[in-house]
Amino acid sequence: MAGLYDEILENHRRKIEEALPSYLPPADGGARQNTVYEAMRYACMDGGKRLRPVLVMEFCRLCGGSPARALPFACAVEMIHAYSLVHDDLPCMDDSPLRRGKPSVHAAFGEDMALLAGDGLLTRAFEVMLAAENREGLPAEGVLSAAFALADAAGAGGMVGGQVIDLQSEGKAVDLPTLEALQLGKTAALITAACEMGCRIGDGSPQQLEAACRFGRELGLCFQIVDDLLDVTSTPEMLGKPVGGDQTNEKATYVSLLGTEKAAALAAERTRGAVEALAAFGEEASSLRALAQALLRRTS
Amino acid sequence: MAGLYDEILENHRRKIEEALPSYLPPADGGARQNTVYEAMRYACMDGGKRLRPVLVMEFCRLCGGSPARALPFACAVEMIHAYSLVHDDLPCMDDSPLRRGKPSVHAAFGEDMALLAGDGLLTRAFEVMLAAENREGLPAEGVLSAAFALADAAGAGGMVGGQVIDLQSEGKAVDLPTLEALQLGKTAALITAACEMGCRIGDGSPQQLEAACRFGRELGLCFQIVDDLLDVTSTPEMLGKPVGGDQTNEKATYVSLLGTEKAAALAAERTRGAVEALAAFGEEASSLRALAQALLRRTS
């Protein structure tokens, strides 16, 4: 993860890390339902790389908008990402007791509280984007279309749908179009929405919007191919988690379908596509060009 | 439930029943994730009384708006209500195999699919409200504040928070303020939001908005007191479900805290408050006056 962000993106990441707690329910412990507030905070403050919100901020900047104005929308995307991990880890889904080496939310707070913390985070994302004080001075159409993009990407036609295809694919022979549909939903939809939201808040042109969405889609799909590659080529020390899990679980991956070499070539092709899309933003997009290259070369 | 709605409200209910499927994902069976689409539809088409969406439509009408324009918002509230029932029924929550005499969603589709169908419905509510085609011609501020009201009421400060207080209260001595906070969140928040949303879409005055919110709050709290009363005074034949469950489960209710007589008096007082609030809407509000009285006298 080291070297993923240059100074501009690292600056966005710091701002997000600072702002995120302020968009979550109060931490003063005063509410009767304080436990779920704690669980929501626990789920969000897990030291992830904040890729999605960083993309919101940077595309807003590239479109000429103020990244600070995009902060509530950036934090909303991160809440949606966090909720999806909480629900994925539940016993009826992946049944994961750990997340990034810490107890997962249901392991720490109980299954019922994890379910409700996920529901609370998903709902909170929309509260934050739609609250009058967070959208002051922004054009209403930008706010509406940004919030719609997130709902559309997170829902049954996007991220939730990708989860469903994943569940249905377990232990079955899966072809490449199905794997692509699965990953488009599970990973690429939310990353693409983040790029779109930045453009919507930054009032980008239709050309910029189209380029940002292409970048998000290519980056999102590449991200998953690299994950699949790392599962077979990395070591537990480098990855910070066990490797070879996909094969053990007989999971269809880009590597199992294409082999290591072709999967690596596809990842490189996706990265080229992502970088090409950035041409619409000219020289200013160098941070994102470097990010795409760093995500391709990452070792964890 | 017979006689709950007069002609005006029954007309709203019919329109909602017709429109709801069109706001859910396509029923053509073409999508890879079709199972979750089916589960979402199953959860929504359960023959409920559609109280919340009817309130959206009627308050829109009372504020001088077109009820038809409020339909997407009405259906969104019903989706949030439906998702909350799906997640409530899950094994880690109430573990209910049945809902209105039919298998609950997890009993029919599996636990993982029920979790995702709930997530899908919660997200879909926002997709429907924010989609450009559903808000055409409506003032942006009305759409934004209506969607915010729903997020706010459904989240950890509202409905999800009420669930948390409920879970924490199990098997404990609960006082009246805690019970009131629990029911404000679990039941009254969403009913109040429905009333507010109708005013927002119908562009009501601040006075109308305040009156509608008071009506919703009183109605929502009364609704729960009557539920508690019916659990001790009704018969399984009348109620269409087992009675006496609250006592068996040692659940704190308005009846266990106040006794039957005082609980009935409180319900009547709440109804008076609801009817008083309607004065702001004059003669036109007779449908809602009759509804408040009918909900107080209901036997199922």
pLDDT for the residue A35: 96
- Residue B98 has phi, psi (to 5 degrees) of -125, 150
pLDDT for the residue A48: 87
| Identity of the residue in A144, A157, A168 whose CB atom sits nearest the CB atom of B143 | A144
Measured between beta carbons, which residues in chain B are less than 8 angstroms from residue A197?
none
Q: Are A90 and A108 in contact (CB under 8 A)?
A: no
How many other CB atoms are found less than 10 A from the CB of residue A6?
15
CA proximity to A122, closest of B101, B239, B121: B121
Tokens of A191: 């990353």
Q: Give helix then strand counts, H and E, for chain A.
A: 15, 2
pLDDT for the residue A83: 98
Residue B1 pLDDT > 70, yes or no? Answer: no
pTM assigned to the model: 0.96
Higher per-residue confidence, A200 vs B243 = A200
Nearest residue in chain B measured CA to CA from A38: B156
Residue A2 pLDDT > 70, yes or no? Answer: no
Residues B199-214, mean pLDDT to the nearest whole number = 98
Confidence bin at A252 (pLDDT 50/70/90) = confident
Residue A297 pLDDT > 60, yes or no? Answer: yes
Neighbouring C-alpha atoms within 13 Å toward the C-beta of B80: 36
pLDDT digits (tens, 9 = 90+) for B149-162: 999 999 999 999 99
Of the listed ranges A26-35, A59-68, A71-80, A86-95, the least confidently predicted one is A26-35
Q: Are B49 and B1 in contact (CB under 8 A)?
A: yes
Residues B154-180, mean pLDDT to the nearest whole number = 94
pLDDT for the residue B252: 85
Residues A209-214, mean pLDDT to the nearest whole number = 98
pLDDT for the residue A47: 76
Residue A258 pLDDT > 90, yes or no? Answer: yes
DSSP, collapsed to helix, strand or coil, labels residue B4 as coil
Q: Are A53 and A74 in contact (CB under 8 A)?
A: yes
Mean pLDDT of chain B: 94
pLDDT digits (tens, 9 = 90+) for A133-157: 999 999 999 999 999 999 999 999 9
Amino acid at the residue A277: A
pLDDT for the residue B2: 56
DSSP, collapsed to helix, strand or coil, labels residue B105 as helix
pLDDT for the residue B129: 98
Residues 126-155 of B with CB under 8 A from A: 126-127, 130-132, 135, 140-141, 143-145, 147-148, 151-152, 154-155
Q: Does A26 touch chain B (CB under 8 A)?
A: no
Q: How far apart are CA A243 and CA A234, in angstroms?
A: 7
Nearest residue in chain A measured CA to CA from B93: A112
Residues A219-244, mean pLDDT to the nearest whole number = 85
CB contact under 8 A, B164 and A33: yes
Residues A10-18, mean pLDDT to the nearest whole number = 97
- Among left, alpha and beta (phi > 0; psi -120 to 50; other), residue A122 is alpha
Neighbouring C-alpha atoms within 13 Å toward the C-beta of B265: 5
Residue A197 pLDDT > 90, yes or no? Answer: yes
Measured between beta carbons, which residues in chain B are less than 8 angstroms from residue A105?
none
